[in-house]
Structure 1
Amino acid sequence: MEVQLGNFNRRQVQFDISDKLDEDGEWLYRMVGLARDSDTQFQYRDGPDVEDNRVYLAPTVTWIPSADTSLTLRADYLRDTSGGTIAVLTTPGGKVTDTLLGDYSYNRFRQEQYSVGYEFSQQLAESVKFSQNLRYGQTDTILNNLLPGDPDFTTDSVSRNAIRFDEHMKAFNVDNQLQMDFNTATVAHTLLAGVDYSWLDANAKRFSAVAPALSLSNPLYGLDISDPTNAVNNNDQTTQQLGVYLQDQIHLTEHWLLTLGGRHDDISMRTQNNLTGNTSWIDKDAWTGRAGLTWLVGNGLAPYISYAESFVPNSGTDSQNRTFDPSKAHQYEMGVKYQPDSNLLMTLAAFEITKSNVLTNEIVNGSATGYQVASGEVRSRGIEWEAQAKLTDNLDALASYSLTDAQITKSNNGDEGNQQANVPKNMASVWVNYGFHQGLLDGLMLSSGVRYIGSMYGDNANTIQVKNVTLMDAGVKYQVNKNIQVGFNVQNLFDRHYVGTCDGDTSCYPGQERTFIGSLKLNF
């Protein structure tokens, strides 16, 4: 069990309980839970802070009647309540202000979701295993948001639209797979064959109305803003996907590992516009494949090369109630993994991903509309490096770096050649832990780290630039005994104020301010 207290009036309790239900251990249970009552860094002038509350419960029961059979029943419940999406006024010079563009009397977000399911496995023979995973869930979402227009600094005001989004979603997924281990001559195979099916049924309603404008120099909040009743969207969308797949992991020799896989998907999407009565269908199918080759050189060195394809549905509709086509992607990757012993793990990879029908926020005249558009095709190229090292008995470190060039290669909006919105070109981090294992400080661990987030664009038109930022984090924890641990962590130690992302040229979302969290962890 863990108890957390922090700034922004954060109070959180979480627990993870598991044990046997009988003496033989044939029946097992586990219960995971969390309850959070917290505010955020956002506060309306002369008004309340914006809340960020959560309740989560996830019970599981496992039945193991024999060494060959296992059945786990799962359920979970999640409820999030917050003040919704909070846009903050940004000056034409790029300075983030304290002026919130919403209103605490209207902005709110509530999402409730639950799911039930099971995981079943049966060893059919010494080298043959059958598994089935099944899940059904429902999600209900209500979002009230005031979407700002383009602020007019000459009239000291910004226009706003009251948006209400109401969605009810049901989903069902089942995956059946058969795993077989066998040899052909001196070659060892692990063959995986399966069939999966998913069904998603969603009703999404969107309402819109003109809301009172906001004064930029003297904003007034707590206004009586009614929920809009003018429906601009009311769609029922049903998506079905049937997939058949086959994969073979082949140990060619002691040093060479080959992976080959193929998959066929049929996707059917039916969208009914309840405002006009029009119905549209999309039926698509595609073959996708993957292949990878790894060379196990020895001494922990393993270079590899891989290729993979994907074909997935895009849920929702655009501002014209048009159904999005499924997204297709293919990825090339080559790299190397190095782990000479348990004290060092290092990975380096170079990749190229090309993805079509990428969904991004629709922006008109510098302002977000609340809809999404399929931006055509995006090609991402880059490198990723990560290292984990135990430098001494007391000191260990984790470092990472990524370079990403995400370029729009095809677009219907004139964005070809531009960088994809809200993707930093450079990111890096270093985290160091120093622990004491003897003497008066035995059980104490000090931690510190630095994060770098590179510059990026806030829109696909590349007219909004988000500056880079370097942040420092720190932490300390003390293991009082085997049952009690206390800790204190700080994110953004020096309280750097920076822009996280933007959805328009003068409305942006600030990054996380300095956050303190103290914790008490009990094990029993």
Structure 2
Amino acid sequence: MERVEVLKGPASVLFGQGGLGGKVNLVTKQPLRDPFYFVETSVGSYNSYSGAIDLSGSLNDSKTVLYRLNASAETNESFIDFYDQQQYLIAPTLSWQISDRTKLTLEASYSLAEGPYDFGIPAQGSVLPNPNGKIPRNRFVSEPNLNDTSNGAFRIGYNFEHRFSDNWQARSVFQTSLFRLKRNTVFSFGLQDDLLTLERGVENFDYDENAYNLDNYVVAKLTTGSIKHELVAGFNLSKTDTNSKALFNDTTPLNVFNPVYRTATEASLPDFDIKNTAQQLGFYLQDQITLAENFKLLLGGRFDIANQEFQDLLNQTTDFKQTEAFSPRVGIVYQPIQPISLYASYSRSFNQATSAFGAALPEPERGTQYEIGVKADLTDRLATTLAFYDLTRTNLSAEDPNNPQRTIQIGEQRSRGIEFDISGEILPGWNIIAGYAYTDAEITRDNPSTVGNQLNNVPRHALNLWTTYEIQSGSLKGLGFGLGAFYYGARQADLANTVELPSYVRTDAAIYYKRDNYRAAINIKNLFDTDYFVSAQNVNRIIPGDPLTIQGTISWQF
């Protein structure tokens, strides 16, 4: 990746379906005209080793055909017993500058991750008291001989751009993504009444997903009198085929305080065999209107026609659903003075709903968001943003509290909150990224027993601070230091709000040195070895955070 962009707020009108809270946009590395060669290696705690290469340059004398190749391999263990994972990646990219106005880029990648699956530990003995004591956070609740997971993803696509003039351009983007997941594991249920013995099952799960996405749009800059327009119009066509099937069996329980691991047998009882085909056609139009240099208006809309065909091969049943939806988007920006931008927005979203196993859910997910805020450029290198939002989502997918292997839909959830961010360079060499979020996320319409409950894994208060300083001159030029603190408030472990994860503060640090084409760094996570819990899948699967972890990295560019 060249960079990771976190786009906060509604972003679902253009280029595809999606939610309202935000998007994480992964920007891939693009080919370079001049030769570029990069090698990196790292060593860390728990036998973590990795290596990576990044190569780029031209394939012809005129430098109109360029390439880039990224590849990496990593192996690592964990503080959790019997944990050993390997990850591999290769990602070639080829670009062709057909003319000064036309460019074609071909991208592909293959990634593979193999290793065990971590099911966490039960709440009693971790975040709740247990008369038998405290469960060690490194406890492995599966079986060493039967906990294998393989995630493989192959992606290939193109990006075609053509500029008719300085004011008109067209773009076509297509991507195919083939995802394969195989999991053969012993998983955990709940503790028995003695609070010693953990009930377990054995699962054999196969999941295949083939996704195809085509986006075609034009961008036009027009002027009507004194008013400027930037129009975006296009259509999006997508199709996703999923196949998922699973076998289950009960298996021997485990004493979580004095585990004796056995040779488990593989699952043999069929649980489900599901095939799902989802198709969607969306048309969108957006106009960014400059009414004055300090006053801009955004008007957009997207109309989707979506359908799903769901086949239960085990029970030999078929279901078909089709939905049409219109998702508007309105935004306004006013600058009373050049460094200050006041903004407000309204947006709706639409998303076809599927379970974690690829099964169709009864209703599509819809969302509505209102947001107002202010952005201030304190200097030309330091900016801050303050936002207030109200976001409502209906038919949200969630884990069934009575069966973690199933997915249910929440009638309605609402998130209201305040977010404050500041980032940039305070002084030469001194950079900061800081933020605070207050989030009130609750179920507003569902079963009476859950209405008013807080959403799981969402803290009311979260605070982050990361700052670095790099020496700018002298013999130590290029030497830098980083220090950060991350606070997460108490969070609910389940939608029933029966268990609460405690708040925590984690401190990270770094020291690095870069000079010419050489860079070395030591990164420290959880500097004070804080014992904390990062999240929960449910009350029987509480996920501990990593203890003190150190990683050293050396890289060369030539």
TM-score range relative to shorter protein? over 0.9
2:322 equivalent among 283, 289, 298? 283
Q: Partner of 1:471 in structure 2?
A: 506
1:449 & 1:60 partners in 2: Cα distance? 35
Q: Partner of 1:424 in structure 2?
A: 459
Is 1:205 the counterpart of 2:241 in the alignment? no
With over 3 angstroms needed to count, the CA separation of the structure-2 counterparts of 1:201 and 1:491, relative to structure 1, is same
1:125 & 1:442 partners in 2: Cα distance? 46
Q: Aligned letter for 1:250?
A: I
Shift of 1:331: 0.8
Consecutive unaligned residues of structure 2, counting only runs of 5 or more, are 1-38
1:318 & 1:397 partners in 2: Cα distance? 41
Contact 1:451–1:470, Cα closer than 8 Å, also in 2: yes
Listed one character per residue, the Cα deviations across residues 31-70 of structure 1 (whole Å, up to 9, x for unaligned) are 1222111112211xxxxx3123211111110000211100
Is 1:270 the counterpart of 2:309 in the alignment? yes
Listed one character per residue, the Cα deviations across residues 201-247 of structure 1 (whole Å, up to 9, x for unaligned) are 010002110011112332112x2222212111101000000000000
Q: Partner of 2:162 in structure 1?
A: 122
Q: Partner of 1:186 in structure 2?
A: 226
Q: Partner of 2:529 in structure 1?
A: 495
Classify the secondary structure of the residue corresponding to 2:46: coil
Is 1:93 the counterpart of 2:133 in the alignment? no
2:296 & 2:114 partners in 1: Cα distance? 48
Is 1:25 the counterpart of 2:63 in the alignment? yes
Contact 2:74–2:88, Cα closer than 8 Å, also in 1: yes
Q: Partner of 2:372 in structure 1?
A: 334
Q: Aligned letter for 1:227?
A: E
Shift of 1:413: 6.8
Shift of 1:317: 7.3
Consecutive unaligned residues of structure 1, counting only runs of 5 or more, are 44-48
1:469 & 1:355 partners in 2: Cα distance? 28
Q: Partner of 2:100 in structure 1?
A: 67
With over 3 angstroms needed to count, the CA separation of the structure-2 counterparts of 1:422 and 1:161, relative to structure 1, is same
Shift of 1:412: 3.4
1:336-355 to 2 correspondence within 5 Å? 336-355=374-393
The two structures, once aligned, show a CA RMSD in angstroms of: 1.7
Listed one character per residue, the Cα deviations across residues 156-213 of structure 1 (whole Å, up to 9, x for unaligned) are 3121111222111111110000111110110000000001100000100021100111
With over 3 angstroms needed to count, the CA separation of the structure-2 counterparts of 1:22 and 1:155, relative to structure 1, is closer
1:134 & 1:101 partners in 2: Cα distance? 42
1:295 & 1:96 partners in 2: Cα distance? 55
Listed one character per residue, the Cα deviations across residues 236-277 of structure 1 (whole Å, up to 9, x for unaligned) are 000000000000000011110111001100110000000111
Q: Which moved more, 1:82-91 or 1:274-283?
A: 82-91
Classify the secondary structure of the residue corresponding to 2:79: strand
2:274 & 2:541 partners in 1: Cα distance? 29
Contact 2:371–2:387, Cα closer than 8 Å, also in 1: yes
Q: Which moved more, 1:412-421 or 1:174-183?
A: 412-421
1:104 equivalent among 144, 149, 154? 144
Shift of 1:155: 6.9
Q: Aligned letter for 2:129?
A: G
Q: Which moved more, 1:233-242 or 1:122-131?
A: 122-131
Q: Partner of 2:352 in structure 1?
A: 313
2:347 & 2:360 partners in 1: Cα distance? 29
Q: Aligned letter for 1:39?
A: E
1:385 & 1:340 partners in 2: Cα distance? 14
1:381 equivalent among 402, 412, 416? 416
Q: Aligned letter for 2:556?
A: L
With over 3 angstroms needed to count, the CA separation of the structure-2 counterparts of 1:318 and 1:164, relative to structure 1, is closer
Q: Which moved more, 1:340-349 or 1:57-66?
A: 340-349
Q: Partner of 2:471 in structure 1?
A: 436
Shift of 1:466: 0.3
Q: Aligned letter for 1:107?
A: N
Q: Partner of 1:369 in structure 2?
A: 404
Shift of 1:150: 2.1
2:53 & 2:448 partners in 1: Cα distance? 49
Contact 1:491–1:514, Cα closer than 8 Å, also in 2: yes
Q: Aligned letter for 1:159?
A: E
Q: Partner of 1:46 in structure 2?
A: none
- Count of residues in Structure 1 that have an aligned counterpart in Structure 2: 513
2:543 & 2:148 partners in 1: Cα distance? 16
Shift of 1:149: 2.5
Is 1:56 the counterpart of 2:89 in the alignment? yes
Q: Partner of 2:394 in structure 1?
A: 356
Q: Aligned letter for 2:465?
A: V
1:512 equivalent among 522, 546, 552? 546
2:198 equivalent among 148, 155, 158? 158
Shift of 1:359: 1.3
1:406-417 to 2 correspondence within 5 Å? 406-412=441-447, 414-417=449-452
With over 3 angstroms needed to count, the CA separation of the structure-2 counterparts of 1:182 and 1:136, relative to structure 1, is same
Q: Which moved more, 1:499-508 or 1:270-279?
A: 499-508
1:172 & 1:468 partners in 2: Cα distance? 41
Q: Partner of 1:169 in structure 2?
A: 209
Q: Could you tell me the TM-score, scaled by structure 1's length?
A: 0.94
Shift of 1:318: 8.2
1:154 & 1:136 partners in 2: Cα distance? 51
Listed one character per residue, the Cα deviations across residues 454-497 of structure 1 (whole Å, up to 9, x for unaligned) are 11100001111000000100000011x31111100001101111
Percent identity of equivalent pairs: 27
Q: Could you tell me the TM-score, scaled by structure 2's length?
A: 0.89
Shift of 1:96: 5.0
Q: Which moved more, 1:16-25 or 1:301-310?
A: 16-25
1:121-140 to 2 correspondence within 5 Å? 121-140=161-180
1:477 & 1:217 partners in 2: Cα distance? 41
Contact 1:295–1:304, Cα closer than 8 Å, also in 2: yes
